Amino acid sequence: MNIKIILMILLAMAMTYCTFNKYDDLHPKQSINCDTSIVISYAKTIAPLMEKHCNNCHNVNDAATIGGGTFLDNYDDVANNIEDVLKSISGKNYKMPKNGPKLDTCDIYAIQKWMNKKMPL
């Protein structure tokens, strides 16, 4: 095969790969199947999710040593870090929970929704 054709195929593959990654980030596939009727609040939804998946490391006693200095065990710290939180748990190359399985799509969706609703207590 002609080297130019091979290069073009490789380039096309690289481009589709990037597009899909981005699309996946912006539009989590299963969000449509999540229960959209639940009222999301910090106390009912967000705090329990943090407690279950994040506070082992991101708590007031241990964050400095094993949580990279980020506290996520109270309203203010979660709210102030919300964009980083969402970034860290989203996408194929999610970073958090560190060394753990990715959060369920509906849980990520709930955190997104909480942010969009101006983070109610």
- Displacement of CA 18 from its chain's centroid (Å): 18
Residue 45 binds to ligand HEC (criterion: CB under 6 A)? no
Among 25, 28, 42, 56, binds ligand HEC (CB under 6 A): 56
Distance CA 121, CA 114 (A): 10
> Taken in order 74, 83, 35, 104, is the CA torsion positive or negative?
negative
Give whichever of 7 and 64 is closer to ligand HEC, judged by the CB atom: 64
Q: Does 53 bind ligand HEC (CB under 6 A)?
A: yes
* Given 28, 97, 106, 113, the residue binding ligand HEC (CB under 6 A): 97
Q: To which residue do tokens 């942010």 refer?
A: 115
Q: Counting every residue, how long is the chain?
A: 121
Binding site for ligand HEC (CB under 6 A): 53-54, 56-58, 66-68, 70, 72, 81, 84-85, 88-89, 95-100, 103
